[in-house]
Amino acid sequence: MRNITQSRKLAGVRYDVRGPILQEAERLEREGHQILKLNIGNPAPFGFEAPPEIVDRLQQVLTEAQGYSDSRGILPAREAVARYYTEEGVAGVTPDDVYIGNGVSEMISLVLQALVDDGDEILVPSPDYPLWTAQVTLSGGQAVHYPCDESNGWMPDLEAIERLVTPATKGIVLINPNNPTGAVYSAELVRGFAALAERHGIVLMADEIYERILYDGAIHEHAALHTHDTLCLTFSGLSKAQRVAGYRSGWLAISGDRTRSRDFLEGLQLLANMRMCANVPAQHAIPVALDPASNWSGIAELCAPGGRLREQRDTAHRLLTEIPGVTCELPGGAMYLFPKLDPEVYPIVDDQAFVIDVLQATHVLVTNGRGFNLPTPDHLRFVTLPSVPVLTEAIGRIGGYLATVRR
């Protein structure tokens, strides 16, 4: 009898956020240990409840949402997304330019399957949200990572990115605000990304799921505002700002020049048809969430001084940077910290093994920096969603462990 093996398409595909480190945490939990989980941006377990108007709407529609919808999504949801971008100043987005997905993750998968041929290159930030690199690889392409400069607030260098463009380059990914660094890009930098994409005729893919989670007066700039002569694909949804990650309600909005993109868009429609449709009840949350009267359900207050997300970010940043040999850029957005452990103080060779050692010693679960396609083993990613007391306890344990391994 021959062995049943995994597809060769999975060679080189990694998703460490839910990989061996999480598996070790689950093993420890089975042994009866309580694990403080600072590894995934999932608001609900940390007491961030869904806005009541969204929950009420889903309860109302359950009896009428039992069948398939249009493969692109229900019309009221697509209308709400198109209206949102129109009000934000993005020209030409209609309901026919919107696809509703089971979260942004599904739409990333569909887009890359429809776009990427074997050997195609997609420019992806380093560090990145690792699903981008994994899906490019799974689609047969090559993720070419452009560096973001930690000494400059994790900003990318457009001139350095342009040097990476080749005839095989088919698209560029812009994650703004960035996961895992929390960097928020200026309007000037976003315009530069759009101009680069237009000069080379490549697709600009803007992952903007954290667009409303902003601190200290940071302003988010839609990439679609500046893309006219090439295609812009904007990804966003409700999982973070509206705290309904489990509802799996995200979208793709298409803008820019569609005249040279008909073949790709036909392929995208084919793949959308093949998956039938997204979760229909959760689609009904989108018009409620994007109603201007909802004010995005109070996310600005959570991020303002005195708001819970802001206080947790500040506390975690202060505690981490008080540990000898640990530095961390203060993020302008999102819900993560990405601290650096000085290699002269902490000589880490294998950061995944190091994080597992931390987990076993402290029962605190974080993620290693190379899991986000950073080339060096000297960073960790912390989720800042737990309450201040939980963050204080978790970082205190990690600080105690680091004291035992400092050079």
> What is the per-residue pLDDT across 183-228, written as a single tens digit (0 to 9) for each?
999 999 999 999 999 999 999 999 999 999 999 999 999 999 999 9
Sign of CA dihedral 123, 124, 125, 126: negative
Q: How far is CA 285 from CA 80, 108, 152, 276, 301, in A?
A: 10, 21, 38, 19, 21
Distance CA 134, CA 158 (A): 23
Distance CA 182, CA 202 (A): 25
Of residues 182 and 66, more confidently modeled: 182
Distance CA 2, CA 226 (A): 54
Q: How far is CA 136 from CA 17, 51, 176, 294, in A?
A: 17, 34, 19, 36
- 13 pLDDT band, cuts 50/70/90, is confident
DSSP letter, residue 329: P
Burial bucket for residue 334 (CB in 10 Å: 0-12, 13-18, 19+):
buried
Distance CA 339, CA 106 (A): 29
Strand intervals (E) in 285-330: 326-327
Q: Across the chain, what does the average pLDDT equal?
A: 93
Distance CA 161, CA 144 (A): 10
Cα Rg, the chain, nearest whole Å: 21
pLDDT of 310 strictly over 90: yes
Edge-to-edge strands, sheet with 336-337: 336-337, 380-383, 367-368
Q: How do 231-237 and 203-207 pair as beta strands? A: parallel
Please state the rounded mean pLDDT for residues 131-157: 95
Of residues 316 and 292, more confidently modeled: 316
- 16 pLDDT band, cuts 50/70/90, is low
Beta carbons of 363 and 23 less than 8 angstroms apart: no
Q: Kindly report the pTM of this predicted structure.
A: 0.93
- 18 pLDDT band, cuts 50/70/90, is low
Please state the rounded mean pLDDT for residues 345-356: 93
Both tokens assigned to 385: 């969603």
The percent of residues in the chain predicted with pLDDT above 70, rounded, is 99
Q: How far is CA 61 from CA 135, 243, 246, 284, 285, in A?
A: 33, 20, 17, 7, 10
Lowest mean pLDDT segment, chosen from 48-57, 156-165, 362-371: 48-57
